[in-house]
A and B are shown apart, each in its own frame.
Chain A
Amino acid sequence: ETGVTQTPRHLVMGMTNKKSLKCEQHLGHNAMYWYKQSAKKPLELMFVYNFKEQTENNSVPSRFSPECPNSSHLFLHLHTLQPEDSALYLCASSQELAGAPTDTQYFGPGTRLTVL
């Protein structure tokens, strides 16, 4: 595997389910990110990890819970979601610590989440 991978690619869940999204980066990067992409809205940054330490949480509801066990893996645990949480969830990584202004972020293909 190369780059940033995400599993599953598609997920359908009910409002009472618990599920997890997984992201893995094979680039040796130091920062990882979760974004939410909804139609007709800018990408929303949800969480940021530098060296597996969370540095940002942009007022994300507690029904989304991130976990970063090491610098290569990032999870997003989901529980009791709402239909408006349906979106494409993108993971990204960057070589420099988050906040380095010129650094490039590398994105995974995303998980298309549908909440029924």
Chain B
Amino acid sequence: AQSVTQLGSHVSVSEGALVLLRCNYSSSVPPYLFWYVQYPNQGLQLLLKYTSAATLVKGINGFEAEFKKSETSFHLTKPSAHMSDAAEYFCAVSGTDKLIFGTGTRLQVFP
């Protein structure tokens, strides 16, 4: 069965600092992995997805994630945080017939 674990329910960074949100997955088959973002009072929006083409995936708003099979990880990064990045971020893995989401990481950005 597939699952994802997001390490850290809250992450705080200063504006301009590196953003690192952690996601580890468990999958019995080659996984397809996603990062979604949820801004306040909105639904989830796809940031990026890994579909086995390239291990480094670039997404919207300057975010990227690297698939590391040896570490079963798919961490999300952004070199320089912006105030507008404050939101909740969800990692997800494609299961047999549905998406399986993590519990989310809330990112706070301080000026």
Q: Are A104 and B49 in contact (CB under 8 A)?
A: yes
Chain A residues whose C-beta falls within 8 Å of the C-beta of B42 in the assembled complex: 109-110
Closest B residue to A101 using CB positions? B94
* Closest beta carbon of chain B to A110's beta carbon, Å: 6
Q: Are B94 and A102 in contact (CB under 8 A)?
A: yes
Q: Are A42 and B102 in contact (CB under 8 A)?
A: yes
How far does the alpha carbon of A107 sit from the alpha carbon of B57 in the complex, in Å?
22
* Chain A interface residue count, Cβ-Cβ cutoff 8 angstroms: 24
How far does the alpha carbon of A91 sit from the alpha carbon of B43 in the complex, in Å?
8
Q: Are B101 and A43 in contact (CB under 8 A)?
A: yes
**B contact residues vs A (CB 8 Å cutoff):** 9, 32, 34, 36, 41-46, 49, 51, 90, 94, 96-104
**A contact residues vs B (CB 8 Å cutoff):** 4, 6, 40-43, 45, 48, 55-56, 90-92, 98-99, 101-102, 104-110
